[in-house]
């Protein structure tokens, strides 16, 4: 083989190694230079970043403070019943005027409960959701659990939770309690009240008394026990 072909092959191999070397360096080394963008998508444009200076303002700061005394539209929150679940310093026992108890509110609550609450608390609220089941499997299997620590979600049918006022339940959904995080940033105020309406319906459905029904209704009643197997009576 002519030596020229050997030299050409070596050069081609060396050139082929350049892109992988550049990629490896870019992944391993931090750099202050801007990344290369073939399609800009407004990535590189004139703007001020956090904590930068701006000589246009007297204080030299690019970030501007809100005008003193102003409140964002819709964020005044002077109705404590609606926003905090509190009436005259006590937990509210009624729904606020903005969310009257209607069939539409109940259906909305069922929908939101299924999205946000069912994964941990389960369909019927006994704390047996799919997240809890998976965590229990991890705890029982040391090979994959790797020290998993889990506290089972509360059942909404526990006596101390069933007697909680509407406002206290709303506060729990809003700000969380114990190991449960709050949903103030994920769920709008109206939907939180809708969830409370559905929670009370679930509690009622699993703790109703025979005296709540007429004799004719009792004769046609079909009993469905939604409790988890480990909670069923023997």
Count other C-beta atoms under 10 Å from residue 206's C-beta.
18
Q: Over 70: is that where the pLDDT of 234 sits? A: no
What pLDDT shows up at residue 230?
65
Question: Would you call 96 exposed, middle or buried from its count of C-beta atoms within 10 A (0-12, 13-18, 19+)?
Answer: buried
Task: Read off the pLDDT of residues 45-60 as tens digits, 9 standing for 90 and up.
Answer: 788 888 889 988 888 9
| % of the chain surpassing 90 pLDDT | 41
Q: How many helices (H) and strands (E) does the chain have?
A: 10, 4
Q: What is the CATH number of domain 80-207?
A: 1.10.760.10
User: Would the pLDDT of 40 be above 80?
Assistant: no
Q: What is the pLDDT of residue 209?
A: 78
> pLDDT averaged over the chain?
85
Distance CA 187, CA 202 (A): 20
Whole-number Å distance between alpha carbons of 43 and 37: 8
CA distance 128 to 120: 7
Query: 72-119, pLDDT tens digit by residue?
Result: 777 788 889 999 999 999 999 999 999 999 999 999 999 999 999 999
Q: What is the pLDDT of residue 33?
A: 72
- pLDDT tens digits, one per residue of 180-196: 889 999 999 999 999 99
pTM of full prediction above 0.75: no
Q: 221-230, long-range: CB within 8 Å, 24+ apart, which pairs?
A: 226/123, 226/124, 226/126, 227/124, 227/126, 228/122, 228/126, 228/128
């Amino acid at each position: 083989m002519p030596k020229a072909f050997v030299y050409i092959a070596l050069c081609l191999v060396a050139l082929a190694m350049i892109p992988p070397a550049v990629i490896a360096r870019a992944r391993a080394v931090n750099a202050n230079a801007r990344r290369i963008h073939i399609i800009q998508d407004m990535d590189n444009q004139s703007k001020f970043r956090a904590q930068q200076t701006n000589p246009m303002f007297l204080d030299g700061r690019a970030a501007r403070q809100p005008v003193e005394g102003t409140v964002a539209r819709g964020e005044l929150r002077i109705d404590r019943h609606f926003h905090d679940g509190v009436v005259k310093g006590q937990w509210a026992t009624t729904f606020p005027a903005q969310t009257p108890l209607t069939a539409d509110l109940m259906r909305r609550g069922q929908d939101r409960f299924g999205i946000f609450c069912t994964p941990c608390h389960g369909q019927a609220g006994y704390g047996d959701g799919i997240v809890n089941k998976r965590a229990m499997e991890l705890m029982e299997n040391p090979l994959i659990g790797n020290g998993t620590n889990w506290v089972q979600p509360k059942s909404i049918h526990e006596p101390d939770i069933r007697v909680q006022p509407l406002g206290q339940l709303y506060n729990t959904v809003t700000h969380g309690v114990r190991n449960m995080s709050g949903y103030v940033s994920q769920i709008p105020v109206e939907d939180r009240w809708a969830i409370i309406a559905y929670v009370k319906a679930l509690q009622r459905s699993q703790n109703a008394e025979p005296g709540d029904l007429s004799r004719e209704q009792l004769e046609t009643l079909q009993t469905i026990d939604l409790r988890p197997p480990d909670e069923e009576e023997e």
